[in-house]
């Protein structure tokens, strides 16, 4: 998977301070075990609250990512691969949501 330059910059900063001798995983639990998907789902609400982001979840962050990428004009197959979808039908939901958002903004900011 390709990571954008901002994510690369953040990961490089983390790797510079990350405790060593912990294995190949990027993030670890307080018990020094690799952090998996369930661990991320458990930690996300805490950090979202601290950031003042109400009503968000790991799923809504994925959803926002897909919609944002569609809105910015990313190819549907690129979004599909980034989200790990098997079918373009699943990914096309994000294109429809992006269109709805754009239509809404066009109406709100009409001349």
Same domain for 106 and 61: yes
Same domain for 78 and 103: yes
Same domain for 109 and 95: yes
* Domain membership of residue 71 as a residue range: 57-111
As a whole number of angstroms, the distance between CA 37 and CA 35 comes to: 7
Domain boundary among 38, 56, 74: 56
In a domain, 6, yes or no: no
8 Å CB contact between 79 and 91: yes
In a domain, 3, yes or no: no
Same domain for 107 and 61: yes
User: What pLDDT is stored for residue 22 in this prediction?
Assistant: 64
Of residues 58, 62, 64, the one with CA closest to residue 40? 58
In a domain, 16, yes or no: no
Same domain for 78 and 43: no
Q: How far is CA 25 from the centre of its chain?
A: 19
Of residues 19, 4, 24, the one with CA closest to residue 82? 4
What does pTM read for this prediction? 0.66
Residue 96, phi then psi, degrees to nearest 5 = -60, -40
Place of tokens 């998907």: 37
- In order along its 111 residues, the chain shows pLDDT tens digits of 567 889 899 999 988 888 776 677 888 888 888 888 889 888 999 999 999 999 888 888 888 888 888 888 888 899 999 899 999 898 888 888 888 887 888 888 887
What is the count of structural domains for the chain?
Answer: 2
């Amino acid at each position: 998977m390709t990571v954008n330059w901002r994510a690369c910059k953040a990961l490089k900063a983390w790797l510079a301070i990350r405790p060593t001798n912990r294995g190949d995983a990027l993030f670890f639990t307080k018990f020094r075990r690799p952090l998996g998907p369930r661990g991320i789902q458990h930690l996300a609400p805490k950090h979202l609250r601290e950031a003042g982001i109400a009503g968000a979840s790991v799923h809504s962050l994925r959803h926002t990512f897909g919609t944002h990428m569609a809105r910015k004009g990313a190819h549907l197959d690129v979004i599909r691969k980034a989200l790990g979808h098997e079918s373009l039908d699943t990914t096309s939901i994000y294109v429809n949501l992006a269109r709805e958002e754009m239509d809404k903004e066009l109406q709100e900011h009409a001349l």
